[in-house]
Amino acid sequence: MSFPSIDATQEVRRILSGLISERKTPGYAYAVFDRSGLVLSGGGGVKNATLPASDENVPTSSTAFRIASMSKSFTIAAVLKLASEGTIDISRPVEEYVPQLKGLKTYRSDDLPVLIHQLMSMSSGLATDDPWADRQESLSRTDFQALMRRGFRFIFSPGEDFEYSNTGFAILGELVKLVSGKSMPEYVRTEFLNPLGMEHTSYDYQCSRVKNIATGHSLSHDKWVTEPFTDPGSYSSIGGVISTVEDIATWATWLADAYENDDDSEGSILPAPYRRIMQVGHIAIPPVLRSGSSRGRLCVRDTSEFTSYGYGLFVEHDPRLGDIVYHPGGYPGYGSAMIWHKDSGIGMVVLANGRYAPAFTVARRALNVLLQEANVAGRSYPLWPETEHAMQAVTAMITKAAEHAEPDAASSEDVQQHVIRAYRHLQPMLSMNVDMDCILEERGINLAQELAISGRPVLEANGRCRIDHCASETPAHVTWTIPCERTPLLCELRMNPLDKPQIETVVIKHKPAISADDIVTVSRTTTILES
């Protein structure tokens, strides 16, 4: 069956159409992608609300929009490319590369200098600056350098917390210019857009690369009015990119592919490890309403996921789905979002030409539909071979130990000795802490008691014990269930981190009766891949 199905496609389109029916934007374009690239695209509404409705006025996958703060991932890629080449060190103070910041006063008099990494992860302590910064795009380089020399106001010490700072990314743009000799638009074009074939992406609305462009709008007295375009400048690195959903799907697929492509054939553009660290949370985002910061993270949510900021990307940690990577964008005249599921690579791009249109809200809802259809797990990876071998060995030990498992015989010394002897077969696989944590004889007695409650394991036709509900948190960990005569056994083991790992934890207990008072622990959902 093709993905997405007709039903899922119709639901995605229904969700997106709310942008028009609720007067959030006059027009939009969208794309669905997976690891293979673009799988679905389309659009709705109009590119220019001042022109008559027509087929030519409907946005399509090749219509260009201002993508606003989604541009920050391009800025980060530029900085990381310089880091990958050894030209800069992101763990060093930014003042070592940007002389206008020498002696910058931060929050406390004894603060350490602001690091490049802290600008990249929105943890520098600079106060948030939406929407002031949106109006600074065309600021000349001379004026921006003067602004930096005057200094900034900080709200906490560098590295202490998250606060969304556009100015921090403007500083990163100046860093790229100083180190590479190229402006951010020029550097991104030569190092990323051209190699990736993103032929309809630019920082300049007058560039020939973006001929088919959607006009930005704002709503005034219930009427859409057009917003003027701004020229590139010192603040372009915060949100100046103009692109299509097709090109952004290419960009997002390339970023997401860093977790899939072992040979990394595109590593010459930016090596996979650098793309991966963009998609890892570097600073937690407090789940509270903040004054204009972190667009897309605007309210307290009574749910169990939490969000952090990576490098130019947000990372939502969902207990069911694993990591969702995204970045929304809002700009005078535009709203945008790109979002994908890190493990499967399934994602969405939504670009709209309405002022601060909530593209992220509909993109997130649409992605949920796609992930439900694809039946994705939170994370997927193969167990270490040693982990899988240990699981089979523990299961075989339980089968051997259960040969004399009877309810009235749990305290019998003969039964206990039999179980202890079965347990001893595991000793070569156990790390030294296991016996120190609980001596073998006591483990044997405990297992005899558990087996007396559960009864003998259910065997397959080949005489082996059946294994059900296998799950994991990491390649070094596994839980599984063994069906038994009376109640299942719940098993768990974890391996130590040595090159030749051993079992450091093993737990075997019968499944308790369900209690309404139980506290349920939710851990990361995973799928165990075949080795």
Residue 154: half-sphere exposure toward Cβ, Cα within 13 Å? 24
Residue 265 lies in a domain: yes
Residue 327 lies in a domain: yes
Categorize the per-residue pLDDT at 139 as very low, low, confident or very high, splitting at 50, 70 and 90. very high
Average pLDDT for 515-523: 47
Kindly tell me the burial class for residue 388, based on how many C-beta atoms sit within 10 Å of its own C-beta (0-12, 13-18, 19 or more): middle
- Give residue-wise pLDDT tens across range 180-192: 999 999 999 999 9
Average pLDDT for 331-355: 96
Token code pair at residue 138: 């065309």
Residue 1 lies in a domain: no
Do 74 and 181 sit in the same domain of this protein?
yes
Give the residue from 355, 376, 397 where a domain finishes: 376
Do 444 and 330 sit in the same domain of this protein?
no
Give the relative orientation of helices 166-180 and 141-150 as an angle to the nearest 10 degrees. 120
Alpha-carbon distance of 59 to 27, in angstroms, equals: 7
The pLDDT of residue 65 is: 97
Do 478 and 366 sit in the same domain of this protein?
no
Alpha-carbon distance of 253 to 38, in angstroms, equals: 9
Lowest mean pLDDT among 92-101, 186-195, 318-327, 343-352: 318-327
Do 360 and 389 sit in the same domain of this protein?
no
Average pLDDT for 465-494: 91
Check residue 356 and give left, alpha or beta (phi > 0: left; psi -120 to 50: alpha).
left
* Contact in structure between 524 and 381 (CB atoms under 8 Å): no
Report residue 26: phi and psi, to 5°. Answer: -80, -20
Give the residue from 376, 392, 425 where a domain finishes: 376
Token code pair at residue 102: 């020498």
Residue 208 lies in a domain: yes
Range of the domain at 478: 382-529
Lowest mean pLDDT among 199-213, 294-308, 364-378, 497-511: 294-308
Do 290 and 191 sit in the same domain of this protein?
yes
Do 157 and 251 sit in the same domain of this protein?
yes
Average pLDDT of the residues of the chain: 90
Alpha-carbon distance of 390 to 183, in angstroms, equals: 55
Do 432 and 317 sit in the same domain of this protein?
no
Distances (CA, A) of 115 to 5, 49, 90, 112, 149: 47, 45, 7, 9, 17
Do 405 and 328 sit in the same domain of this protein?
no
The pTM assigned to this predicted structure is 0.87
- Of the candidates 107, 106, 113, the one whose C-alpha atom is nearest the C-alpha of residue 92 is 113
Do 322 and 402 sit in the same domain of this protein?
no
Average pLDDT for 475-484: 94
Categorize the per-residue pLDDT at 460 as very low, low, confident or very high, splitting at 50, 70 and 90. confident
- Of the candidates 272, 251, 258, 262, the one whose C-alpha atom is nearest the C-alpha of residue 342 is 258
- Of the candidates 392, 348, 389, 422, the one whose C-alpha atom is nearest the C-alpha of residue 482 is 392
Do 278 and 167 sit in the same domain of this protein?
yes
Distances (CA, A) of 204 to 50, 174, 183, 209: 23, 18, 13, 9
Give the residue from 357, 376, 395 where a domain finishes: 376
Average pLDDT for 107-113: 96
Residue 295 lies in a domain: yes
The pLDDT of residue 432 is: 93
CB neighbourhood size of 490 (10 A)? 18
Average pLDDT for 174-202: 97
CATH number at residue 62: 3.40.710.10
CB neighbourhood size of 142 (10 A)? 9
Report residue 348: phi and psi, to 5°. Answer: -135, 150
Q: Is the pLDDT of residue 503 over 80?
A: yes
Q: Is the pLDDT of residue 402 over 50?
A: yes
Do 504 and 361 sit in the same domain of this protein?
no
Report the number of distinct structural domains present in the chain.
2
